[in-house]
Structure 1
């Protein structure tokens, strides 16, 4: 067991003592009903407390009815109806020696005013400036509005304390309402709440003072801040320091949670796989030079060794490992009990977490399908098999690997047949693209578990009915994946027969283009019908090898499905720098000896693009040729892409459920 002594040291945040320095910061779950957290929410937080985190903060709880939030399942903290669920949450977290704070928020202009039919209203903000994300013009808050907001913070904090919660964090970051007052970009007021740093901090201080006035001395109060908004004219680190000094001088705050970004720059707040390291720690270092209260740092801290180093160096006092706890809620306990090699690692893909949150969907995790399903799939729910059986898994991609490991953990004898010389399926090719190396952790995490539970892995083995029969199985899991088509079928233009004239060029699937890029030639046209990262990553790889690359897509934006993964803001600049041509709202209608006929999908205006190859990132077909023969002899569970080609999230979930169901 590696020694993370700095990380395991207790620390006091005002009146509250934490058992260690590991924090789970606020993040949207969208499990609520009727604007309140549910038992599903409580189960989620308890699992992270059970796993060893020292401090857990709730997702945003809005303090006033004027904020219903960006999602249909916004949670409210101001009505007394929240007290019973807060009580359940506090008791659940305290059972495991952790502490829990409520996150008190108001979304301000980062909202949609007509989402809820019973709550149409003008949005509140410091000034009448629209959100760059949502574009709705809010109304500047009146002094009566401000008084109502302050009262909402007080009522909400009182509810939390009455329920047994340990503290409250005032959310004044990320472009939310209080941040709009702090930021010189969004605060254009000329009254006592605008102008100087001190004036812009006034509302945050009033809210904190109101919280202090209604809570007792054992209740902690902190604030979350964007020390740098990463937006021209907004809060920069120098202004962030001035804000910190002003807030600290009030004597109202027990700690400072230091973050960065605003709505338009959230790709800095929750950095995707494209961004390595811990990009916001430098902001915590600056905060430590300004205040002597505990400082929390966040974003991208996925490894305990990294977290320990941050605390050991004094860069921050506490470390948020939020996405790491989504991927593995038990990472602290595993490390403390010598089982660090069992940790499932966050890969930073943002598919199951931020992507879903931004759409208003319930949170889960690519690596950890038990996230949000703790009652069904959490710790202690994997029951030993009543009668151990022999299980053959055909296919060693993510679905097959997860099915094999889960079945083996339950005591079944498992044989895994994989026709290639490596496990991982298509995910291992994704890991070969620029900035995508962390996908490999998905494979290595499962490989370790397969080895631990002695799954009989046979690489280079093409399964057949006869080879499966030789194992005398009681159950067969088919996870044979899917294959990419190269005929150029495009759903948006209805060319079910594919692109005419492809014989005039080299047509490649993306996997071939990754592993044997020389076949692509010098002039490459990539057709993307998915909106996912693959086409962009492949273009970056090929352009980096000196090739001329254009991406053509019928979609409104190249890579539109990665927008909510927070990738585009980082990938687009690299593509532009590499000279990749991006042509959304276009299709390839034919290929001639002169080149590809590329046209706009709206009016058909066409141009000829000379090409050496066309890579089609479009249609996939399930590989299910063995299913009928196997079903004739054994119970069969079919999972993953061989059912219908989808994302790795579905593959791992279906593998988990298959392993549990045998």
Structure 2
């Protein structure tokens, strides 16, 4: 192995199809969340600026365009679900103009530009009407031969339009519940005609599409396939089946590369793995494909660090590595890695909030660790004039980000933290095994502040008198949240402890534990998972009608799989009404029907937090300018805290 990332094979050129890549770094589709290239002019500018920044950093190949192929539907039927479309982007009147802008921006920075052709499966089409996952019960429409022929032609038309717009290639999305995967899978393709049955017939649609595309674009246009290595789905193909499909694709002579990925359709792991899984955990399986094929092989899947990207290539797991969420976290990832500054890369911690903010809550895109991502087309922070003396009270995610941003603008920043370590709730959450990446981000922030000359004064209480007497021009209160202890009779009994205390090791839970879940995101699942790691038998009671309603489909499978494997039970619609020495009483949140739960040694509260805003309230009228942010304003997720820090930093 090379001594450093910059000496890695990762930065050696390679040819893929008609593309002479300057290095082995490819960006798969992920940036549409930052701006729709086919939406308004503003959205298109945001999208183009996002990709241009990554190309300028040194990425060799950007397959960033999520390009949906047209759909064939009886008018009036409306497809639903993630990725469902009616009119494909290639049929839009602005397609060529917008795709050309995307290509030109990338080409001008020395990189290649391509698009991924997508027909999200089951929305509503499928080969046999068999559902592709266990989290959706919407019955699909079974395609007729005529409809299959129509789709084949539409794929070919779409590829030709991409070529005409100036793109360098296309990739067929034959994985993750795409229509093409549904035809490849023995679990979902039960047809008895020439498009189903044995492996060769299940492969026919994909081969027909590839041949039709080649007839349109010729040999000088790069065409690849993104494929599940193993479906990880009962009745689907396994690793040997994936290898057989790959060999058949290579033998057909119509593809230039194979893009290997992992994850099933909304399971565990999903196809965008959260922080519960290891970095580049499945790259070793990609080596099986690389060893079996002459085609270049790409591996994508939680490649969160420069070291991991280099390892995938240097150890021979793949020829090219795909980086997606790591590019949300740091747009200069490639430049920093190439110049020996890998420690300066802002780490992706895999929360997947970049996805769930949009898909679950309909909020604007936001990266948990980098609030500047998605704003590449907007004016950035400018040097402060005049520089001001600012106190940031609290060194959790909001305070750390604000202190760094203000120092980068030239303000004189003091950072006071009551605890003896920085990090706030993130530091506590990092004590759970699956949250280890959180500590990496805190270490990055500490290095960042040190480089800016900002020292976090830990163990320093920011009392109202001390702050008012210090003479700061601006005070920003980011004092976080205290544990929320709901008004449940018996919640003060000695065997009732807070989950944060369990994570910190300052409280012990017994062998049989009841977790009271009154927080809508990951905290109750994290605490319950940590308890199973400690050997406890766990039951979790949620008052909501769904488990962790703000954790989206990309992430929910991982913690639930862990709890299920450990024998934990999770129940919904149960509000804890009373805690007594020998029993816990819950009531159904709708009917009010009571239930008793007995035999528990401990009750652990996973009820989120309440704002720690006393300092803010005490400082009103005592300092020239006062702000509050993060959990001290209202407890939410990290992306809320860091985005609020960015907005405030722009205004000071």
The residue number in structure 2 matching 1:657 is 647
Match for residue 46 of structure 1?
Answer: 52
Q: Are residues 360 and 621 of structure 1, via their aligned partners in 2, closer, same or farther at CA, if it must alter by over 3 Å?
A: closer
Partner residue, 1:411:
410
For each residue in 1:522-556, what CA deviation from the matched residue of structure 2 results, as whole angstroms up to 9, or x when unmatched? Answer: 55332111133222222233344344433222123
Identify the match of residue 32 of structure 1 among 21, 26, 36. 36
CA contact (8 A) 1:72 1:360 kept: no
2:553 partner SS: helix
Aligned to 1:590: 578
Following superposition, the deviation at residue 614 of structure 1 comes to 3.0
> Any idea what SS the aligned residue of 1:267 has?
coil
Q: CA deviation at 1:502?
A: 3.3
How far residue 230 of structure 1 moved from its aligned partner, in angstroms, is 0.6
Aligned counterparts, 1:103-502, within 5 A: 103-109=116-122, 111=123, 123-132=124-133, 133-265=135-267, 267-353=269-355, 356-357=358-359, 362-376=364-378, 381-486=380-485, 488=486, 498-502=487-491
Change (3 A) 1:419 1:645: same
**In structure 2, do the counterparts of structure 1 residues 361 and 509 end up closer, same or farther at CA, with 3 Å as the change threshold?**
same
Question: What are the Cα deviations for residues 418-474 of structure 1, in whole angstroms up to 9, with x where unaligned?
Answer: 111111001000000132111112211111110000013211111123322454322
Q: 1:564 to 1:191 in 2, by over 3 A?
A: closer
Q: Deviations over 1:121-170 (max 9, x none)?
A: xx222222234343222232222212221221122112211211111111
CA 539–130 in structure 1, closer or farther in 2 if over 3 Å, else same: closer
For residue 385 of structure 1, report the CA deviation from its aligned partner: 1.1
Using the alignment, how far apart are the partners of 2:584 and 2:263 within structure 1?
A: 42
8 A contact 2:271–2:554 mirrored in 1: no
CA–CA separation in structure 1 for the residues paired with 2:536 and 2:287 = 42
Range with bigger deviation, 223-232 or 360-369? 360-369
Q: Which whole-Å CA distance do the structure 1 matches of 2:37 and 2:302 have between them?
A: 30
Q: CA deviation at 1:608?
A: 4.3
The 10-residue stretch of structure 1 (85-94 or 502-511) with the greater mean CA deviation from structure 2: 502-511
Instruction: Give the whole-Å Cα distance in 2 for the aligned partners of 1:543 and 1:197.
Output: 41
SS at match of 1:257: strand
Cα gap change, 1:547 to 1:176, in 2 (>3 Å): closer
The answer to whether the 8 Å contact 2:38/2:89 transfers is: no
> Please, which runs of 5 or more residues in structure 2 have no aligned partner?
74-78
- Aligned residue number for residue 115 of structure 1: none
Partner of residue 18 from structure 2, selected from 15, 32, 50: 15
Deviates more, 1:310-319 or 1:626-635: 626-635
1:70 aligns with 2:73: no
The verdict on how the C-alpha distance between 1:518 and 1:476 changes in structure 2, with shifts beyond 3 A counting, is: closer
CA RMSD of aligned residues (A): 2.4
TM-score normalised over the length of structure 1: 0.90
Conserved? CA contact 1:66–1:124, under 8 Å: no
Q: Give the alignment partner of residue 512 of structure 1, picking from 501, 510, 516.
A: 501
Q: Which stretch has the larger CA shift, 230-239 or 134-143?
A: 134-143
Q: CA deviation at 1:573?
A: 3.9
Q: Number of aligned pairs?
A: 636
Post-superposition shift, 1:583? 2.8
| 1:638 and 2:631 aligned | no
Return the alpha-carbon distance in structure 2 between the equivalents of residues 265 and 594 of structure 1.
Answer: 37
Shifted more, 94-103 versus 393-402: the winner is: 94-103
Kindly state the Cα deviation for residue 268 of structure 1 after the two structures are TM-superposed: 4.1
Match of 2:98 among 77, 81, 85: 85
Change (3 A) 1:503 1:125: closer
Kept in 1: contact 2:357–2:364 (CA 8 A): no
Aligned CA distance change for structure 1 residues 187 and 501 (closer, same or farther; 3 Å): closer
Task: Point out where structure 1 has 5 or more consecutive residues left out of the alignment.
Answer: 112-122, 489-497
- With over 3 angstroms needed to count, the CA separation of the structure-2 counterparts of 1:45 and 1:358, relative to structure 1, is farther
- Check whether the contact 1:362–1:372 (CA below 8 A) recurs between aligned residues: no
Larger mean CA deviation between 353-362 and 258-267 belongs to: 353-362
Query: What is the rounded CA distance, in whole Å, between the counterparts of 1:628 and 1:554 in structure 2?
Result: 32
Report if aligned partners of 1:527, 1:616 keep a CA contact under 8 Å in 2: yes
Pairing 1:528–2:517 present: yes
SS in 2 for 1:499: coil
Instruction: Report if aligned partners of 1:58, 1:102 keep a CA contact under 8 Å in 2.
Output: yes
Distance in 2 (CA, whole Å) between partners of 1:256 and 1:293 is: 7
**Deviation at 1:267?**
2.4
Structure 1 residues 95 and 246, CA gap change in structure 2 (3 angstroms):
same
